[in-house]
Every structure is written in structure tokens, then in C-alpha cells.
């Protein structure tokens, strides 16, 4: 039975009265929990005999991830999470000393640190542009500064689809077009988008996109995926190759003697980045979660989350909060943050809200509100009532 938007019956053990922190770590639904239990039951029953079923599961997960981002399963590599996808591209790109990498000040470190490490290893020149251009002046100012940086030359632009502090959705199509015009590629960290914001990587003109399971996809930690634009994978240097990266890697285990060789070519496709064993339980969880979301429809999930936020935003503003929500609908994700009024500190408010059954986050001194498909818009009233009590508490 397909669940309905606003129905939390698939989360019977969720303690919070209003869980609005899906930009952090999401609670798994019953279908996700059952998928993990079924996989473990298979291994408990069959041991190594469960491996073929797990291989088939991974194939279905590549297909589901591809549907999620508008691509093909052949262009998807399964990873252990968002960071692994970023690291794979940062380490495997055919860099040249002096290449410039354009990053953004204020990004989550997962999409900065790997590029800094690649810069130290390969003699690259990282360039940090301010996110404030987009947050204060809209897309035009930010895109203008990006083009100025690209005119001076760049190998790659790395940006998040949605900014973790504010929930602003970045103008990916325009950024990708600028990068391509100036001979650069674009890498997108989509962990704050996939599952709640429609993403079509090929249509946007992206080159690489990485996602992780435990936020808006509502899986569990330890799984993710990397989509690579057709043709790009063949240009990567296989520095992360493992035994499963070769052509026909299982031949020596299935075809008798004479097939144990070390000279088989490394595959020139995305799955070559899956070099060894991975968390089958996390992948089973992710497959169940993605299938549920695809059934609901990502555009419908996005609209539903924003209906929750529409009900919350005026109440926050009336209480003196500065609501950091994009004015233009195209720049809205499924969450936003708000700056507390003078005298109210976000970390303390978060703790007081938690004590009242309301779960939110406080990145960088802000209160972040991130509902998902199972939240009822009426929960916004509960959040505001709890916030009144939290502010009044001495």
C-alpha cells in the first residue's frame, strides 16, 4: 500500500511530536527497517548463498538512483555515502598542476575538504567564492562573480544543490552552462536535494552528482551513489580501483582454474569505483527508501514540504525571527533556516524545543526547519507553540 503525504503511520516508534530535521539524519520508515531485516535474515539463513540476491539488489539500487536523478543505471556508482562520492571524483580526475577549482565559502565541509586535499596532492589552486552573493543579491550577482572566476580559467566548479545553512537551492542549470562555456566541469553535492527536490542531472547539464542515504532519501548511514555524465567516467584515472573494478572480476571464483589474473583491464565506467565490499544492509535500506519516494513522486514531496514551511514562516516572522527563505520559488528547497531575535540563542532554543517533542537543528547559529513527506502541515502550529514556550523559559 502506497503511503500518503502527511501520514506518519510508517514511523510508529518516532518519539518526536514534530520531527523537522530531515536535513540532518532522518528516521527510517517501516519499509526501510523491514528491508534491512529481510537482508540480514537471508544471510542468517543462507550465508554465502545470499550473495547473488544482494548483487541483484545492488543492480536495482543503481536503477532506482538513476531514476531519481534522471540518468542511466550504467552511469551510477554505489558508494558508502556522499563524502565517498566527492572523494572519488576529487582523487580520480586527471588534474594538471595549477588547475583552478572553484569552491564556495559557507558550503558544508564535505564538499570542500576533498578538493582541498586534491589541491595539496596535485598542486591545484582552490578559489573560494562567497555564497552571500546568492543569498543577498539573488542568482544574478552570484552568477556574475562565478563567470568572472571562470574567465580566469578553471578545471572544475564544486557546489551543493541546496545550501545546508539556509536551504537555498542553487541555480545549477545556469552554473553548469557557465562552466561548460568556459571549458570547466561541474560537480554537485546533492545530499540536501535528492529525495525532496526534483533533480534531473542530464537536463541540468551536470558532469558529476553525489548523494547520500541518511537525509532526504530517508535511508540509513553507510550508503550513497555517484552519477557521472556519460563519457566522463572513461577519462577518470582509476586510482581507487579495487578487485571488483576489473573487467569480469568474478571469473576466477566461478569458472574453474586458469582465471586468476591481475592484468584484466579496469572498467571505464562508473561502477569501476565500486572496488570492493560495501554495506549491503545500508544499500537494502536505501533501495526501499528510494522506491517509496519515487512512488510518492519527488515534485509532490517538494510541494508538500513547502506547504508545511508556508504555514510556519509567517509565525516565525511575527515572533521576530529573520526567516532566511528564498523569495523566488525556484530557489526554495524543502527547508529553510531562521535567525532568532536578539536575546535568543539557537542552540538553547533547539534544546528547549527537543524537550517539548520538536526536533530541529541549529547550524551556524541558525534554527533550521526541515519537514518531509510524512509531516502534517498542522505540525507548524505545534512547532510555534513549543517555540513560544522555549522563548519564555528562563
What is the residue-level pLDDT of the chain in tens, covering all 394 positions?
679 999 999 999 999 999 999 999 999 999 999 999 999 999 999 999 999 999 999 999 999 999 999 999 999 999 999 999 999 999 999 999 999 999 999 999 999 999 999 999 999 999 999 999 998 767 999 999 999 999 999 999 999 999 999 999 999 999 999 999 999 999 999 999 999 999 999 999 999 999 999 999 999 999 999 999 999 999 999 999 999 999 999 899 889 898 999 999 999 999 999 999 999 999 999 999 999 999 999 999 999 999 999 999 999 999 999 999 999 999 999 999 999 999 999 999 999 999 999 999 999 999 999 999 999 999 999 999 999 999 999 6
Residue 362 located in a structural domain = yes
Residue 23 located in a structural domain = no
Residue 24 located in a structural domain = no
Strands (E), the chain: 18-19, 76-79, 100-105, 125-130, 156-160, 185-189, 208-212, 224-228, 322-324, 336-339, 358-359, 367-369
Q: Are residues 209 and 282 in the same domain?
A: yes
* Listed residues 294, 318, 343: the one ending a domain: 294
Q: Are residues 232 and 329 in the same domain?
A: no
Q: Which domain holds residue 312?
A: 297-392
Q: Are residues 218 and 163 in the same domain?
A: yes
Report the CATH number at residue 218: 3.40.640.10
Residue 136 located in a structural domain = yes
Angle between helices 298-318 and 379-392 (to 10 degrees): 30
Residue 205 located in a structural domain = yes
* Listed residues 276, 294, 312: the one ending a domain: 294
Residue 17 located in a structural domain = no
Bridge partner list, 186 = 157
Q: Are residues 208 and 305 in the same domain?
A: no
Please report, for residues 40, 200, 280, the alpha-carbon distance to residue 43 in angstroms, rounded to integers and kept in the order given: 5, 36, 10
Q: Are residues 152 and 75 in the same domain?
A: yes
Reading the block at residue 298, the C-alpha cell is 519527488
Compute the distance between CA of residue 231 and CA of residue 207 in angstroms, rounded to an integer: 9
Q: Are residues 267 and 386 in the same domain?
A: no
Residue 9 located in a structural domain = no
Q: Are residues 143 and 119 in the same domain?
A: yes
Q: Are residues 344 and 285 in the same domain?
A: no
Q: Which residues, including other chains, have CB under 8 Å from residue 118's CB and lie 6 or more apart?
A: 90, 91, 93, 95, 101, 124
Q: Are residues 204 and 350 in the same domain?
A: no
Whether residue 177 contacts residue 147, with contact meaning beta carbons closer than 8 Å, is answered with no
Report the CATH number at residue 388: 3.90.1150.10
Whether residue 334 contacts residue 163, with contact meaning beta carbons closer than 8 Å, is answered with no
* Listed residues 233, 260, 294: the one ending a domain: 294
Reading the block at residue 69, the C-alpha cell is 536523478
Residue 28 located in a structural domain = no
Buried b (16+ CB within 10 A) or exposed e, 70-100: bbebebbbbbbbbbbbbbbbbbbbebeeebb
This prediction's pTM:
0.96
Task: Find cell 526501499 and name the residue.
Answer: 288
Amino acid at each position: 500500500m502506497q503511503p500518503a503525504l502527511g501520514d506518519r503511520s510508517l514511523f510508529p516508534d518516532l518519539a518526536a511530536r514534530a520531527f523537522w530535521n530531515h536535513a540532518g539524519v532522518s528516521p527510517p520508515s517501516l519499509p526501510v527497517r523491514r528491508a534491512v531485516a529481510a537482508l540480514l535474515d537471508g544471510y542468517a539463513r543462507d550465508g554465502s548463498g545470499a550473495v547473488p540476491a544482494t548483487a541483484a539488489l545492488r543492480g536495482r539500487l543503481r536503477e532506482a538512483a538513476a531514476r531519481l536523478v534522471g540518468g542511466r543505471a550504467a552511469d551510477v556508482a554505489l558508494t558508502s555515502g556522499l563524502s565517498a562520492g566527492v572523494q572519488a571524483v576529487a582523487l580520480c580526475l586527471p588534474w594538471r598542476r595549477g588547475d583552478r577549482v572553484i569552491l564556495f565559502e559557507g558550503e558544508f565541509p564535505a564538499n570542500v575538504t576533498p578538493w582541498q586535499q586534491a589541491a595539496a596532492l596535485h598542486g591545484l589552486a582552490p578559489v573560494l567564492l562567497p555564497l552571500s552573493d546568492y543569498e543577498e543579491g539573488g542568482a544574478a550577482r552570484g552568477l556574475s562573480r562565478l563567470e568572472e572566476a571562470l574567465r580566469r580559467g578553471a578545471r572544475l566548479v564544486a557546489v551543493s544543490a541546496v545550501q545546508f545553512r539556509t536551504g537555498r537551492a542553487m541555480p545549477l542549470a545556469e552554473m553548469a552552462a557557465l562552466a561548460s562555456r568556459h571549458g570547466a566541469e561541474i560537480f554537485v553535492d546533492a545530499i540536501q536535494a535528492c529525495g525532496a527536490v526534483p533533480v534531473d542531472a542530464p537536463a541540468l547539464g551536470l558532469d558529476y552528482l553525489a548523494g547520500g542515504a541518511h537525509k532526504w532519501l530517508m535511508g540509513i548511514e553507510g550508503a550513497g551513489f555517484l552519477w557521472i555524465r556519460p563519457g566522463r567516467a572513461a577519462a577518470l584515472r582509476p586510482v581507487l580501483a579495487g578487485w571488483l573494478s576489473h573487467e569480469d572480476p568474478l571469473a576466477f571464483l566461478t569458472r574453474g582454474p586458469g582465471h586468476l589474473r591481475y592484468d584484466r583491464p579496469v572498467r571505464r565506467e562508473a561502477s569501476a569505483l565500486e572496488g570492493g565490499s560495501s554495506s549491503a544492509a545500508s544499500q537494502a535500506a536505501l533501495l526501499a527508501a528510494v522506491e517509496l519516494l519515487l512512488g510518492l513522486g519527488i515534485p509532490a514531496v517538494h510541494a508538500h514540504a513547502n506547504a508545511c514551511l508556508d504555514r510556519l514562516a509567517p509565525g516565525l516572522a511575527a515572533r521576530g525571527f529573520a526567516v532566511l527563505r528564498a523569495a523566488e520559488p525556484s530557489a526554495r528547497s524543502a527547508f529553510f533556516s531562521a535567525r532568532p531575535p536578539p536575546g535568543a540563542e539557537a542552540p538553547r532554543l533547539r534544546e528547549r524545543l527537543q524537550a517539548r517533542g520538536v526536533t530541529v537543528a541549529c547550524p551556524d547559529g541558525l534554527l533550521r526547519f526541515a519537514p518531509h513527506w510524512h509531516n502534517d502541515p498542522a505540525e507548524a502550529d505545534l512547532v510555534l507553540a513549543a517555540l513560544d514556550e522555549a522563548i519564555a523559559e528562563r
